[in-house]
């Protein structure tokens, strides 16, 4: 079976280094927020191009802590997209703030800046730009809108470790960058983990908020427990060394898909000019979504849908969450999108088999017309 994502394959790629790093932690006597986490924070900040990085328990916490550090909470509004992992919206609600969801651009799947003016109110305090599938959002107009309306910009980089917008790495452009290191991510732990990046004094507050708001073990703020453990820190330090080369493998695989699939009746991903995508996912659009997925599964190829239902239509949020008037792009995408297998360890022969299976699907479709 060719999996849609395969984090265990990455472990095998760096197994010796990872096992040595984990064993060193286990033989030590400091398991939470120790030297490994501290070193990871400095190395990741240097990589992203910020002065600070803060290790936290997961990507959802990263967004929640970012909002809390900006004093965003009950009664405030935060604009983001509905076409995202539900974690983005759940993190907003965890602070007591109100999510306001807009549509995405049809060709790039990221926040549509043209809808921002429609949804802004006196209660709006921030925008969360989600860099979906490894593709940077259109940051210039979003940054301009934030500046002109005195809003904070948070980058949700959960799927975009290492991606660049006009030469700058994502996570260094907004006020705060938030990263998930869930095992399937481009920089994935073996368990839950997250990182927050910033170049301002908010880092001091975020460090306190992740550990009960402590200053000398006295709670200065109403914080929580969102500490990154040493084992995950050690694992991420190993993988960070290979992130750029692994992302390049993703780009090569994406180029192969594009070359082989461009002549088929599918919509392949478009990439903005002046950006570098890291192809966390390779998402195409097909008319016969479910039939296509089932056909590939019959060929021992696992494809996925990211995401099955827009957040604003999910039972927990339907009929109560604020949205832009027109959410048609998001609502139509879910009926067509398919995520093809995409990870650095996918072999050439596996990629060839995927392409052969896709072509055979459409050959059968043409024969039945």
Is the per-residue pLDDT at 367 higher than 70?
Answer: no
In this prediction, residues 194-219 reach a mean pLDDT of: 97
Same domain, residue pair 257 and 154: no
Q: Which of 195, 219, 240 is the last residue of a domain?
A: 240
Same domain, residue pair 18 and 135: yes
Separation CA 1–CA 58 (nearest Å): 29
φ, ψ of residue 145 to 5 degrees: the values are -65, -40
Same domain, residue pair 43 and 135: yes
Percent of the chain predicted with pLDDT > 90: 98
Q: What is the pLDDT of residue 317?
A: 97
> Which tens digits make up the pLDDT trace of 245-266?
999 999 999 999 999 999 999 9
Q: Which of 240, 267, 282 is the last residue of a domain?
A: 240
Same domain, residue pair 168 and 267: no
Is the per-residue pLDDT at 331 higher than 70?
Answer: yes
Give domain status of residue 69, yes or no.
Answer: yes
Domain that holds residue 262: 243-368
Q: Please enumerate in sequence order all residues whose Cβ is within 8 A of that of 307, keeping only pairs 6 or more positions apart, or say none.
A: 83, 84, 85, 86, 334
Same domain, residue pair 174 and 266: no
Same domain, residue pair 256 and 221: no
Is the per-residue pLDDT at 368 higher than 90?
Answer: no
Rounded to 10 degrees, the C-alpha dihedral 45/206/199/72 comes to: 130
Q: How confident is the model at residue 225 (pLDDT cuts 50, 70, 90)?
A: very high
Same domain, residue pair 259 and 346: yes
| Tally of domains within the chain | 2
Is the per-residue pLDDT at 369 higher than 70?
Answer: no
Is the per-residue pLDDT at 212 higher than 60?
Answer: yes
Q: Could you tell me the CATH number of the domain that includes residue 264?
A: 3.90.1150.10
Same domain, residue pair 270 and 211: no
Q: How confident is the model at residue 365 (pLDDT cuts 50, 70, 90)?
A: low
Same domain, residue pair 353 and 205: no
Q: Which of 210, 240, 270 is the last residue of a domain?
A: 240
Per residue in 150-170, is it b (16+ CB within 10 Å) or e — as a string?
ebbbbbbbbbbbbbbbeeebb
Same domain, residue pair 209 and 292: no
Q: What is the pLDDT of residue 364?
A: 82
Is the per-residue pLDDT at 366 higher than 90?
Answer: no
């Amino acid at each position: 079976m060719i999996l849609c994502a395969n984090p265990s394959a990455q472990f095998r790629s760096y197994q010796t280094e990872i096992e040595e790093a984990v064993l060193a932690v286990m033989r030590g006597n400091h398991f939470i927020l120790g030297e490994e986490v501290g070193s990871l924070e400095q190395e990741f900040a240097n990589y992203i191009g910020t002065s600070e990085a803060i290790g936290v328990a997961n990507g959802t916490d990263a967004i929640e802590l970012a909002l809390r550090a900006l004093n965003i909470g009950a009664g405030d509004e935060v604009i983001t997209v509905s076409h995202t992992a539900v974690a983005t919206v759940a993190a907003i609600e965890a602070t007591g703030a109100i999510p306001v969801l807009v549509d995405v651009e049809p060709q790039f799947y990221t926040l549509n800046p043209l809808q921002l003016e429609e949804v802004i109110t006196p209660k709006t305090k921030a925008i969360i730009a989600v860099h979906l599938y490894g593709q940077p959002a259109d940051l210039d107009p979003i940054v301009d809108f934030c500046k002109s309306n005195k809003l904070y910009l948070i980058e949700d980089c959960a799927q975009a470790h290492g991606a660049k917008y006009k030469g700058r790495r994502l996570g260094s452009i907004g006020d705060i960058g938030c990263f998930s290191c869930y095992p399937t991510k481009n920089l994935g732990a073996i368990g839950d983990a997250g990182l927050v990046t910033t170049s301002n004094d908010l880092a001091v507050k975020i460090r306190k908020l992740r550990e009960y708001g402590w200053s000398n073990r006295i709670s200065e703020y109403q914080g929580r427990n969102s500490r990154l453990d040493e084992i995950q820190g050690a694992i991420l330090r190993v993988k960070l060394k290979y992130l750029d080369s692994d992302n390049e493998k993703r780009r090569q695989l994406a180029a192969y898909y594009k070359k082989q699939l461009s002549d088929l009746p599918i919509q392949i991903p478009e990439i903005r000019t002046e950006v570098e995508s890291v192809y966390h996912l390779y998402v195409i659009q097909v008319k016969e979504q479910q039939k296509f997925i089932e056909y590939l599964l019959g060929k021992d190829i696992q494809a996925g849908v990211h995401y099955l239902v827009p957040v604003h239509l999910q039972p927990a949020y339907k009929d109560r969450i604020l949205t832009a008037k027109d959410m048609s792009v998001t609502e139509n995408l879910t009926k067509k999108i398919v995520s093809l297998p995409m990870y650095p360890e996918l072999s050439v022969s596996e990629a060839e088999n995927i392409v052969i299976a896709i072509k055979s699907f459409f050959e059968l479709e043409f024969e039945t017309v």
